[in-house]
Each structure stands twice: as C-alpha cells, then as structure tokens.
Amino acid sequence: MDLDMEAMASAIGVSIPVLRFLLCFVATIPVSFMHRLTPGRLGKHLYAAGSGVILSYLSFGFSSNLHFLVPMLLGYASMVLFRAYCGTLTFVLGFGYLIGCHVYYMSGDAWKEGGIDATGALMVLTLKVISCAINYNDGLLKEEELREAQKRNQLIKLPSLLEYFGYCLCCGSHFAGPVYEMKDYLEWTERKGIWARSEGGPSPSPYGAAIRAILQAAFCMAMYVYLVPHFPLSRFTDPVYQEWGFWKRLSYQYMSGSTARWKYYFIWSISEASIIISGLGFSGWTDTSPPKPRWDRAKNVDILGVELAKSAVELPLVWNIQVSTWLRHYVYERLIQKGKKPGFFQLLATQTTSAVWHGLYPGYIIFFVQSALMIAGSRVIYRWQQAVPPSKALVKKMLVFMNFAYTVLVLNYSAVGFMVLSLHETIAAYGSVYYIGTILPILSILLGYVIKPARSARSKARKEQ
C-alpha cells in the first residue's frame, strides 16, 4: 500500500501526505451522497459527525480531531454558560487557538513546499464555531436591533451537542468549506424550510450540478498541473528573474498569481460538488418556467468573475464567496455604528481579520492590507466612471477598461505576498516592479479627494456599489 501511494504521489508530483489528503478530499463526494440515504434525523447527525471524524483521521492523523475538539468545546461551553456574550467570547477563544496553531505549526511554509496539515481545516471549523455562537447570542436581541442576515440566521434554541458536532464536521465539509450556517444545517437535516418536501412539487436533482462541478475541478487541476512547472515561486529569488526587464517581471507576477488560483479553483470545485450532492447546496428555485433548482449555497468561486473582474469591488463577491460572506456578516457589518456609513476602517479591519485567519506570515498581512487599498482605489475609479454623462460614452468605456486593468495588475501584484509569505521575498518581489501595485491604489485614493464627481452622481454610484 505504501509503495502504491508512493508511486501515485510521484506520478502527480505531490508528497504522500498531500496525496492522502486529496484522496480523502475527493472521497467527501461519495460520503456526502451517502448522507442522503442515511435514515432518521439522529442517524443523519451521527453520520455527519462520524464521517467527518474518520475523514480527518485518515487525512491528518489522530491529533487533528483533538485540535478540532478544542474550539468546538470552547464554543459550546460559551453558549451553555455565558449566552449573553458567548459570541464575543467564542470569537476571541476560537481565533486565539487558531493563531496558536498557526504559530506552532507554521503551516504556510509546509503548504508552500507542498506539505499539508490540519490547520487549513481548523480555519474553516473556527468560522463555523464562531458563527454558531454569535447567532445563538443574537437570539437574545430584539427583532428591531437585528439586520436581515441576523434575523435569518439567529438561533433561539441551543442546538444539542450531537447537532452541533454534526454541523461542525459534516461529511468532511470542514476540509475546505464552504462555510454555512447552523440554521441551514438543521433545516436541511430535518427537511424544513426550502428543503421541505411538498406533495406534487418538483424535487431538486443535484446530479447535473454536481457533475458540472466535478468536470470543472478536473479542468482546473489540469490547468494547474500544466502551468505550475512554468511559473514556480522559486523564480522570484532566482538571479535570472532580476535580470529581466520591468514588463517581463510584471507579466511573470501576473502568470504566477493566475497559476496559483487554479489550485484553489480545483479545491473549491470539489467541495462544491460534495455539498451539492448531499442536497445542502440547494438554495431555492429560479423564477423561470419551469423553475430550475439553484445551488448557490455551495458556490465558493466564480472563475470567470475573478479572471474578468471589471472592478476590485467585485472580487469578494466571486472569490472565496462563503468566507467573504462570513466576513461581511460577522465582522464588517458589526463594526458599522448605528446611523453611520461604513468607511475605510471597516474595510481594513475586515481584511486584517482575514489576514490573521490565514496565518501570521508577513505576506498574508501585506496582501490583505494591499487588498483594502486595492478595493478603496477601485471605488474611486468606479465613482468617476458613474459620474460620466451618457453623451461621453467613449470616456466611460475608457474608465471601465482602466478599472479592469487596475484590478488585474494590482490583484496579481498583491498575490505575490500571499504566495511567498516571507517579508524578504514579498518586499523583493514588490520592489522588482517598483511597488507599482502599491503606488497605484494610494494614488487613486488621493486623487479621489481632489477629483470629485457631482454630488448626485456620487450618491448614485454609492447606491450601486
């Protein structure tokens, strides 16, 4: 068996631990399908939790489940003992434990070298635990104090320990997400809400959507395997790279960033197929005739939306979609003071939270600060674009193209920090293109204070954003 694993790992160019993880990760698809056939509500919760534990053990070893148990028990104890502030307490304890694991294992170095450990799954699990506690905390608040997302997800009753474990570990969905809500998990398991069976009504079939996701995953993996030998991260420290001209270095940064994204597209396509085939990915019916099932709950990335984004503002809506949604509901919106509009502080705090969630590497911190600047700069260009009257269509199209080119350049420049992680390599890579991806956003933001569109146009642009 070891020899077979070694041969398979060598054939696709990965380590044995990574191959073991990939096999278990792909196995989440049939495991999730079997959840559909598991009888009874109690049986479904047991199967969800048990299959998650087994997949974690096979992927990362026995210690992984011990690591997962810590934030899960801390979160549940907070809900039982300190409901009035269990959300804040779980947020602090959950992130504290995750940061401790990041520091102890320094997983980023292992991931960069093709290794694997359980901290990636712990990242997803931490978000689940925190959202469950916050929603239980929201169950104490008056309806008029809640936003729409809070009303939709609040928990009035404490979930049982078995329900909670099933939610956290469901069929290995904690490996790479997507993040989903406890209320959705309970309604799906109990066949309530949009999952309720209606007599004579259509029954959503997941098979077509799941097959599309699997085919997309295969294509993305093929693209990654083909491109990665041509654009290795080691090239940034290679003397040959420094001998290239500015435009060649900049184009290499674009290609290395684009290459890395195919790996994430593959991972999220597999997890999407897994959640769809279980039925949990169902998000309602379209308004067409006849109605068609939608599977947006499982969608974590829109590939064309990322690669062809017209504005950096669109990126959180098409990249790591469910985590972006989590950050918006549990960080960004909760930092907005009543009666006031959000500003750069909320954006920066959200991006910083995302950076810490990924790990304490300087490259992560720099990338997410860069992201905040990138989005703020893109908003300025968008406001200029919206202020152009219809009679000047050519000027408007030029600004649209400018925002697209700005987004492509700054995104792939910024992504270098996310990939190389170390401060020295990040600064060296940024410096090799004269910090153009940092200067452009700052320049756009400053110009936004000087070149201001008319008030009516600006107000309209904000509404559309």
Give the phi and the psi of residue 268 in degrees, each rounded to 5. -70, -30
Residue 352, token pair as written in the block: 């910083």
CB 16 within 8 A of CB 9: yes
Classify the phi-psi angles of 227: left when phi > 0, otherwise alpha if psi is within -120 to 50, otherwise beta. alpha
Distance, in Å, from the CA atom of 204 to the CA atom of 139, rounded to the nearest integer, reads: 31
Backbone CA torsion sign across 303, 21, 101, 32: positive
Closest CA to 105 of 90, 118, 123, 91: 118
Among the listed residues 230, 329, 358, 424, the single catalytic one is 358
Distance, in Å, from the CA atom of 230 to the CA atom of 415, rounded to the nearest integer, reads: 17
424 given a catalytic annotation: no
Residue 266, token pair as written in the block: 């593959």
CB 332 within 8 A of CB 313: no
Alpha helices in 279-336 (DSSP H): 303-307, 315-318, 321-327
Which contiguous run of DSSP H or E holds residue 186? helix 182-189
Closest CA to 237 of 56, 416, 465: 416
Query: In Å, how far are 87, 148, 396 from 347, measured between CA atoms?
Result: 21, 20, 27
Calculate helix-pair angle for 16-37, 41-60, nearest 10 degrees: 170
Query: Which amino acid would we find at residue 26?
Result: V
**What is the Cα 376 distance to its own chain's centre?**
20
Q: Which residues are catalytic?
A: 358
